[in-house]
Structure 1
């Protein structure tokens, strides 16, 4: 829905489904009911997640895309952003680090992304801006330093191909299209430093030379093409987990000339650990239900001196408490998307304040148009946090919408 000049939606990766029939069935089940509650009298935009399989079926099944277009038009809905990060299965089985397969060193990732953009260009309303979020190149534990550099080299060449494709697609369609890299804890790109280093030392020089040699662009045009078409998806939870403050991160990215294509509104799990064996055992009991088997839940602890300790999964972090816990008081932040409308629940908390700080920053600097709530963990949350999925989505969208007017000046709401 359009609120104060923003496109606000939720990501449909909340709903299980890897085939197009399953995805469409979920849209039919949930979307009209959600729209009726949050945007009954105005168009409602969708953040659509398509697996590789679903994208092939939608693109190649005769009449499928036309049927979707008719269905959307009849219900006053439209698609403006896609989630192109998870390529394969994303629910009901162990995903863990496989969420990064295939990575940006592979032709499969390039083919999948191009296919998604062809679909988005067909679905996007005339004159609208469209974006697709994608993986942070790869999973860092798969590579030593030499291998990581080889991957960055190959990824830069493939992302340059995406940029050239979007440049031409935009010229043909008149639509502003961009790919949004999504940094994540333990991704090859996981923090501000990684992102700026990658743009400065890999994407712009390597991708730029490729565009100059293969597409006869000038150096200036090649750099502009890369910066316009390859942007960043700022997932608030992900940056919160690595203890990066929104204002610092966003201002550094802006100074480096890195554009934000989409802000994913999400909150991480937060807990306080002390140098107290009994207290830490109680905290371990509270955290244990979040150590589930489907997704990676990376943990980054920071102590009172500012030193950080990281674990690849919550189960690994909890094992460290067997020895009694930290020598200093620590704040643990866990990559587990918890409801954005909760700041605290019992002795646990969330990084909700980072969402509020991000919206505060967007009041001052309009970095992007696309805002997408992404709490995809409803079916694996501890029982006391679970609720009806439709009601949860509505509550999250309303929570964000109620704060957007406070963070926008001189813009009239579209509703």
Structure 2
């Protein structure tokens, strides 16, 4: 099967569902629609979100069904989102999305089983990345937790090394920095890999999932991030192609229109006088700071919005970060569009169906890169 580089897909975490039946339903109801809208004869890469429930339900029959589906529809498994462990839609997720975190055995066992499942779903694959949480939610973590977290990540790396020895498929545990987490900035990610200090035979099995929305929220430079990671010899397991909310001056108050009860919307605001960055765990905290009289000239918010938009209602987006980033990414790195919060966008700002928006996002990436 001839595959296109860079491989561009979308993450199925935009679709609700925790069971294996949900995985297959989303493929038949949504992935096929997107593939048809793209009108391409090229093999279609899949970015699957596979929850813990689905992992447990994926028996030999389910695996055979998936492989037959891929053969029938000219598709293949490119990457797995192993970040959300349980329910991810239609209920309060917020900081619980990081649980279980890397201090807990449940995260280790889940990540191992995802690796076992990945090579069963796509036998003969050269490389499959599996993204995961950035160690833990920062307010819940302290320095005494590091030894346990590091030991757990190493254990999964050892398991992936053993899988490679038996199958020839290289699995990459792709740790995904995110605002308000233990790994938040690129500098913190680099420090973590130094702390992890993997031996040579494990280094290929742990990398980074670079989420563009997250690093844009941190006011980072795309080019500098990539250069710093390259200098530190930290591999990219994948890049999540995503865009955040961005507002300046009088637009800033309009960000509060995006406060909603499901997801955590970490906010980073630049003080208008000092230029310092102030970090807030969620939009209500940012609103409280504004009410106290703090004045900011720019604020960026962790809210994944359609990547083809430069503006959404009364505010802007960090699409400019993607325009800088994507042409610089090595063509061997998978690209995964991840606009999971489409249903959380205020209804008056949504245009078109989910399938229409996903296809339009993928087309936007293709036009930028090809």
Class of the TM-score when normalised by the shorter of the 2 chains: over 0.9
Q: Which consecutive aligned stretches of 4+ in structure 1 deviate over 6 angstroms post-superposition?
A: none
Matched, 1:370 2:334: yes
Task: Find 1:292's aligned residue among 257, 260, 263.
Answer: 260
| Residue of structure 2 in register with 1:318 after alignment | 287
1:203 pairs with 2:196: yes
Report what 1:216 is aligned to: none
State which structure, 1 or 2, has the greater radius of gyration over its C-alpha atoms: 1
Are residue 63 (structure 1) and residue 57 (structure 2) matched?
no
Which residue of 356, 361, 369 corresponds with 1:396? Answer: 361
Aligned counterparts of 2:68 and 2:35: Cα–Cα separation in 1: 17
The answer for the alignment partner of 2:318 in structure 1 is 351
Q: Would the aligned equivalents of 1:2 and 1:8 in 2 still touch at CA under 8 Å?
A: no
Q: CA separation in 2, counterparts of 1:39 and 1:137?
A: 39
Contact 1:262 1:368 in 2 (8 A): no
Who is 1:213 aligned against?
A: none
Match of 1:182 in 2: 176
**TM-score w.r.t. structure 2 length?**
0.95
Tell me how far 1:401 sits from its aligned partner.
Answer: 0.7
1:2/1:49 Cα in 2 relative to 1: closer, same or farther (>3 Å)?
A: farther
Write the deviation string for residues 372-410 of structure 1: whole angstroms up to 9, x where unpaired.
0000011110113323000010000000011112xxxxx
Provide structure 1 residue ranges, at least 5 long, that are not aligned to the other structure: 209-222, 274-278, 406-415
Q: Per-residue deviation at 1:261?
A: 0.9
Aligned to 1:242: 218
The within-5 A match list for 1:228-267 is 228-267=204-243
In 2: Cα distance, 1:2 partner to 1:378 partner: 32
1:171 to 165, 168, 176: 165
Corresponding residue for 1:215? none
1:76 matched to 2:40: no
Once the 2 structures are TM-superposed, how far is the Cα of residue 368 of structure 1 from its aligned partner? 4.2
Aligned length: 368
Task: Supply the distance in 2 between the matched residues of 1:95 and 1:169 (Cα, whole angstroms).
Answer: 32
Could you tell me whether the CA contact under 8 Å between 1:78 and 1:125 is conserved in 2? no
Q: Report deviation, 1:312.
A: 0.5
1:225 matched residue in structure 2: 201
Write the distance in 1 (CA, Å) between the matches of 2:123 and 2:362.
22
Task: Describe the superposition over 1:183-232 as per-residue Cα deviations: whole angstroms up to 9, x where unpaired.
Answer: 000111101121111111x211xxx4xxxxxxxxxxxxxx2233211000
- CA drift of 1:153 comes to 1.3
Deviation at 1:63, TM superposition (A): 1.1
CA distance in 1, matches of 2:69, 2:46: 13
TM superposition shift of 1:124: 2.2
Contact 2:209 2:240 in 1 (8 A): yes
Secondary structure (helix, strand or coil) at the match of 1:224 reads: coil
Instruction: Give the Cα separation in 2 of the matches to 1:349 and 1:3.
Output: 35
Q: Within 2, Cα distance between the matches of 1:252 and 1:39?
A: 38
CA apart distance, 1:337: 0.4
Q: Structure 2: which 5+ residue stretches go unaligned?
A: none
Following superposition, the deviation at residue 359 of structure 1 comes to 1.4
- Which residue does the alignment assign to 1:302? 270
* CA separation of 1:2 and 1:291: change in aligned 2, threshold 3 A: farther
Partner of 1:339: 306
Q: CA deviation at 1:289?
A: 2.6
C-alpha deviations, 1:222-262, integer Å up to 9, x for none? x2233211000000000111111111111111111111110
Give the match for residue 50 of structure 1. Answer: 50
* SS class of match (1:295): coil
Counterparts of 1:3 and 1:358, CA distance in 2: 22
Give the SS at the match of 2:24.
helix
Contact 2:6 2:331 survives alignment (8 Å): no
Distance 1:325 1:3 in 2: 51
For residues 237 and 189 of structure 2, the distance between their equivalents in structure 1, rounded to whole angstroms, comes to 14
Paired residue secondary structure (1:13): helix
CA–CA separation in structure 1 for the residues paired with 2:120 and 2:48: 14
